[in-house]
Amino acid sequence: MNKLNRIFTPGPVPIDEHILSIGAQQPPYNRTGDFSLLTHEILSSLKHLFQTDGEVALLTGSGTLTMEAAVLNFLTPYDKVLIVNGGTFGQRWCDLCRIHSIPFREIKLDAGADLDLDQLKNILGEEEVSAFLINAHETSTGQLYDIQAIGDIVHDACLLYIVDAISTICADPFQMDDWNVDVAILSSQKALALPPGLSFVAMSTNAIARLRKSKPKTLYMNLQDYLRNQERGQLPYTPAIGLLLQLHQRLMDIQQRTLPEIISQHRQRALDFRKSIIDLPLSILPERQSNAMTALLCDDLDAVQVVQGLRTNHAIEVAPSGGTLKHKLIRISHMGDQNSSDIDFIAASLAEIVMPKPVERII
């Protein structure tokens, strides 16, 4: 990690030097057999990350691009969608459906609150819906939903299950096929620990069958076009070639260390950090926490001033919040190139900001 400007934000995250160095290389021409081979290797490794036997589409763009791609490729105005809205990114699902005229009902949750599974069952029993949209981890509040338990309920109701796993995969367990997820999305700048700019849509057999029957409503995000081109190891439009080279190396690194070890590393970082701040005047917001980050309520302190104090006094960047949480919540990431000394430093710096030592008077 760059010791001159420590980044503890949940995207972008600190990136390993050997990955950064790949980004400084001259990008190769991509319409070649060698690049096709690299693309096939990337796709195979991504399936392992998603834990799926389905297909994965490689897109150049942010996570929001794949959220919109999921809406445009799998939903129509004839659907009725149920959305869990527990924060900024749950709201984004709502906004996308509204823009594209997809009828929806939202389950509006308080910040950091978990989804009541009995309430979900009751809603599905009362209302006819065809798809269910959720963020596995609501990054704006730190809330981690039980995607496996929800998947059982959604599967029994025969709904299309679409999950934003952008800040989940590699940080927390995610079993796409075993948890009955039909569409899952991921982007590069979270626990994958890469620069922003790549995003991925994983699709189950059920989702692909639905996709094949749909009429394309977008050119750049037409997933049928991506799947056709990927059969030959190519992408329909010029991708972020340098990022794909970095992704290829990162996936090889994960394969060497194993995915369970990567998840365990995130879990340990989160536990160590939370233990180190237990005596500070801060409290954890979410009812069910992610390994990816810790969302801290600043109690009687102003969160904006805490963020500014860390930046000014320690060259540390943590994520502020917005809306009603702007002056209440800060978010500290455990993703990317971090080690125990980094955790000690952020904890000590945070303590200095929220519990400053009194100035000694010289008499």
Strand partners for 162: 133, 183
CATH architecture of 6-12+259-354: Alpha-Beta Complex (3.90)
Q: Which helix (H) or strand (E) holds 161?
A: strand 160-164
Span 18-41, pLDDT tens digits: 999 999 999 999 999 999 999 999
Q: For residue 1, what pLDDT band results from cuts at 50, 70 and 90?
A: very low
pLDDT at 360 over 90: no
* pLDDT value of residue 320: 94
Span 116-128, pLDDT tens digits: 999 999 999 999 9
Strand partners for 198: 60
What percent of the chain clears pLDDT 90, i.e. is strictly above it?
Answer: 95
Question: What is the four-CA torsion angle of 56, 62, 65, 66, rounded to 10 degrees?
Answer: 30
**Nearest-angstrom CA–CA distance, 275 and 139:** 21
**Nearest-angstrom CA–CA distance, 30 and 37:** 11
C-alpha 300: how far from chain center: 30
The answer to whether 225 and 236 are in contact (CB under 8 A) is yes
Q: Domain extents for the chain?
A: 6-12+259-354, 17-256
Span 73-86, pLDDT tens digits: 999 999 999 999 99
* pLDDT value of residue 264: 99
The answer to whether 316 and 338 are in contact (CB under 8 A) is no
Give the mean model confidence (pLDDT) for residues 224-253: 99
Residue with tokens 């609150």: 113
Give the mean model confidence (pLDDT) for residues 164-179: 99
pLDDT at 5 over 90: no
Peptide bond into 260 cis (omega under 30): no
pLDDT at 358 over 70: no
| Domains 6-12+259-354 and 17-256 belong to one CATH topology | no
CATH architecture of 17-256: 3-Layer(aba) Sandwich (3.40)
Q: Report the SS3 class of residue 183.
A: strand
pTM of the model: 0.96
C-alpha 78: how far from chain center: 29
Start-to-end C-alpha separation, the chain:
43
**Nearest-angstrom CA–CA distance, 169 and 172:** 6
The one-letter amino acid code at 95 reads D
pLDDT at 318 over 60: yes
pLDDT at 363 over 60: no
pLDDT at 205 over 50: yes
* pLDDT value of residue 2: 47
The one-letter amino acid code at 196 reads P
**Nearest-angstrom CA–CA distance, 287 and 114:** 6
Give the mean model confidence (pLDDT) for residues 147-175: 99
Q: For residue 194, what pLDDT band results from cuts at 50, 70 and 90?
A: very high
**Nearest-angstrom CA–CA distance, 18 and 70:** 33
User: To the nearest whole number, what is the mean pLDDT of the chain?
Assistant: 96
Q: Report the SS3 class of residue 187.
A: strand
Q: For residue 68, what pLDDT band results from cuts at 50, 70 and 90?
A: very high
